[in-house]
Chain A
Amino acid sequence: KAGVTQTPRYLIKTRGQQVTLSCSPISGHRSVSWYQQTPGQGLQFLFEYFSETQRNKGNFPGRFSGRQFSNSRSEMNVSTLELGDSALYLCASSLDGDWADTQYFGPGTRLTVL
Chain B
Amino acid sequence: AQSVTQLDSHVSVSEGTPVLLRCNYSSSYSPSLFWYVQHPNKGLQLLLKYTSAATLVKGINGFEAEFKKSETSFHLTKPSAHMSDAAEYFCVVSDRGNYQLIWGAGTKLIIKP
Contacts and interface: CB of A to CB of B under 8 A. Distances in A.
Q: How large is the interface on B (under 10, 10 to 19, 20 to 34, 35 or more residues)?
A: 20 to 34
Interface string A48-90: 1010000110100000000000000000000000000000001
A103 B45 CA distance: 9
B106 A97 contact: no
B46 A97 contact: no
Contacts of B97: 99
Contact of A99 (B32, B42, B45): B32
Interface string A87-104: 000101000010111111
A25 interface: no
A22 interface: no
Contacts of B90: 43
A107 to B, nearest CB: 5
Interface in A29-49: 31, 33, 35, 42-45, 48
Interface residues of A, number: 25
Interface string B9-49: 00000000000000000000001101010000011111001
A33 B101 contact: yes
A4 B45 CA distance: 12
A99 B43 contact: no
Contacts of A55: 99
Contacts of A45: 100-103
B51 interface: yes
B51 A56 contact: no
Closest 3 CB pairs of A and B: A99-B96, A105-B44, A100-B51
15 contacts: A42-B106, A45-B102, A48-B100, A55-B99, A56-B99, A56-B100, A58-B100, A90-B43, A99-B32, A99-B95, A99-B97, A99-B99, A102-B46, A105-B45, A108-B43
Interface of B: 31-32, 34, 36, 42-46, 49, 51, 90, 94-106
Interface of A: 31, 33, 35, 42-45, 48, 50, 55-56, 58, 90, 92, 97, 99-108
